[in-house]
Every structure is written in C-alpha cells, then in structure tokens.
Amino acid sequence: MKPFKLVINGSLVETSEYFDVLNPADKSVVARCPKATEADLNNAVAAANTAFESWSALDISERRELLLKLADVVEDKAEEFKTLLTKEQGKPLQGFANLGAGFEFEGTLNWIRTTANFDIKPKIIEDNDTVRIELHRKPLGVVGSITPWNYPLLISIWHIIPALLAGNTVVMKPSEMTPLTMLRFGEVAQEILPPGVLNIVTGAGELGALISSHEDIQKIVFTGSTPTGKAIMKSASGNLKRLTLELGGNDAGIVLDDVNVDDIAEKIFASAFINNGQTCAALKRLYVHESVYDEMCNALTKIATSMKNGNGMDKDTDLGPLQNEQQLNIVKELAEDAKQRGATFLCGGEVVDEKGYFYPPTLVSNIEDGAKLVDIEQFGPILPIIKFHDVEDAIASANRLGVGLGGSVWSQDLIKAQRVASRMQCGTVWINSHAAVLPIAPFGGVKDSGFGVEFGEEGLNEYTSVHTIHIYK
C-alpha cells in the first residue's frame, strides 16, 4: 500500500513516521498517513510566508481564475474523491436523501466556485471638497486551518478558499482520523497553485497545538469542539492571532402545534440524521408540542426503521457507521443514561453490528431536560424528542444550554415562527428547515459555540484587516 505524503512548498514530502487510517465500516487500514514533525511544520509555514508576497500581490481576479481552475481539476476526479471520503469517513456514497459522499463532493465544488466569485472592493466612507476617506481590506499573511473528521473535504474548503481568495497563504492540518482526502486534494492543488500557497501537514493534536501557537501564523480558523477551541484561543494569544472558531453545538428544533406532521417529518429526520448525526449544525434536540407529539414520534419512527445501516460502499446503504470508536462510545454512554432515567426507546438503542463503529438510528421519547442525551451534544444517530405544553417553556429550554450554533422553528404560521425564531440564542435559525448552510449566507455561533462567521462576504472579510486611507485634498 502506497503511503500518502505531506504537501509542502509545492512538493510531496515523505516523513520518517506514519500512522494507519482506518475504515470505520470494518476497521481495516485504508492507507498510511505521514506524521509531520515540528520541523515539517516550520518548513510549511516558511514556504507559506515566502509565497505570501507574490500571491497577495496578484489581482483578486487572477487568484479567482486559479481557484476556479482548481474546482475544474477536482471535479474531473470526482469518483476518486467520493470513494476516498467513504472509505476514511464512513458516509455512504449516496445515502439517505442523497446526503452522502456525493453530497459533500458536490457541495465542495459549489463552495469553491461561489466563494471564488466574491469580490473585495474599496469602500468610500467620505468624499467631499476637503477629504476622501477610503476603507481597503488587506490579507493577513499565513492562515492556519485545523479541521474535524465529519466533513473532511467540505469543511477544509470552507477554510481554504476564502483565505486564498483574500490573498493569504495557508497551512492546514486535517483531522488525523480523516486526513487522506485532503492530502489528495493538496496533491491536485499543486497542479494549479504556486508553490507554498497551500501546504498540508498531518498528525495528531500536538501538531494542532504547534500550529495554534506558531509565531509566523497570523490567523487560525478552527472547526471542532468547544474545549479544543478554548485551548486554541489561549495558544493563539502569543502573537494576537485573528481567530474564527466554529465550535460545538446542540441545536434545538421547536415544533409548534399547527404543523402538518406528514409534510415535515422527513425533513426533520434528515436534519437530525444528516451524516449520521455527525454534523455541527444538525438538529440534536427536538421539542414537540403535546398536541402533535405522538404523531411526530410515530412518523419519525416509521422513517428510522426503514433505514439500512451498513458499509457506505454498498449502494443501498442509507446510514454508515460512526467515524471512530470514541464517538461510538459517547453515543452509547448517552443512550445508557437515558435508559436508566426510564426514557422510551422508540427504535434502535442497541449495537447489532460490531464489524465497524455502527449504531442504529435511534429515537428516544419520554425524556426531559437534564438528561445527558438532551444536555450533551451526541454527534451521532440518536435523537431525543421532548414534549412541551407552552411555547415559552420550549424557548427557555432551547436557550438554557451554554451553546448557540443553530436552531429551528417548524410551523405553518410564518409570522408566529419568526417571533419564536427571533428569541432563540444561536447564530442561525431556520424556519421549516434545519442545517441548510449556504455559501452566500454567513454562519457562526454565539456563546460557547464560538465567534466569527464563515461564508458570504462577511466570512471573506474575516481573512482581512481593515486599512483606512485619509486623503486630504
């Protein structure tokens, strides 16, 4: 089996140590991944610093053209990327509602092309007989990107493309659980991008710590857990790095009493079980009005029991395995706590396939706030369904936790839904949908779910500094 290599300064670099990357569907070795040393990281940062001068000097239209060419080259290798995604992450090639590897890959292409077409233009603040004041935006320098294992390709693109378009260079570290897709992407990118513009180093948490404290990196963009985000924030203080932190969430959905359950049940299921529940903005706590509670439980159970849980390479698989054993154990622990509290398991709840990290789609009713499954982000295929009588109680429950990434309101009365949505303490609220992130709409968290935004022109601006010019006539 041919090992992968680091991508540094336009070259593929071997290392002295490698580690195995496992297929979560059967625990077999997908490939060997290079383990970068501190010296490798320093070489990558030095290459990015050197490349920054010429890359930032290009007109934005020239950088845009190269990024659009990159999307075309990646698209030509679609089957290779989708297969590698499935093997290292576990998600099906197609999957339930077509939300598998194909969905991630097509999203990647869409994000590259949409983001690359954004623009950064000077803003005129004042222009009169005496003075003209212009606001310009300048790139920061080297951006460090640290990404998670749930969307190895797509989330990396969320970090990389706006950074590069704005004129920065990048050193990125994908999760050690799923590093292969991005190493391959880095190989492909060297066909288009100048040496040093995009560098990819792989390793475990200690490598991420070195990145977040590196004196020659000017910004960190991180997607992952809240504790890790707080550690990065501390490490980044050494040279006052800019930060964009998209951290853990525990998104609440509120179903009001006027819904048509048949119209929304499949949307709610897809919102909760997208990527097997391993999605930061997935619906993770479902609050349902008592008048439609039983009907909603029955409709979701019917969908859940129709799902096929299996190897993502099988065409008829709806939901694959969890990505790793640690995450499987978290789901099992939360389920066990719910059982001890007397909650009702409408389906699932027991591991039936131990070949990989499988857990069946699971729905839990007769459960309340305070249960671990409600209060702790499960990041897996298990959904607590909580009954409420008064919408004020549902809003209070949705807001009671320390996180605030996303939330949703489900209702046929859009005015009433908007009133509820406006009171939810989270960065994004969807009405009659959930987890529908778009490259044109800013997305980010509040409270312990982080700060800064991604996507849209607001997200692009996060990779720049403000440069104000006063011209006295």
The residues annotated as belonging to the active site are: 246, 280
Count of CB atoms within 10 A of residue 24's CB? 29
**Cα 88 to Cα 261: distance, rounded to the nearest angstrom:** 36
Identify which of 363, 357, 327, 329 has the alpha carbon closest to the alpha carbon of residue 345.
363
Identify which of 321, 397, 259, 300 has the alpha carbon closest to the alpha carbon of residue 92.
321
With 0-12 CB in 10 A as exposed, 13-18 as middle and 19+ as buried, what is 227?
Answer: exposed
Contacts of 107 (CB under 8 A, 6+ apart): 154
The torsion angles phi and psi of 34, rounded to 5 degrees, stand at -70, 140
**Cα 49 to Cα 137: distance, rounded to the nearest angstrom:** 19
CB 359 within 8 A of CB 382: yes
CA distance readout (Å), 238 to 216, 274, 401: 11, 38, 31
CB 381 within 8 A of CB 354: no
The residue type at 10: G
> Tokens for 9?
């300064």
Helix axes 180-189 and 78-89, enclosed angle (nearest 10): 150
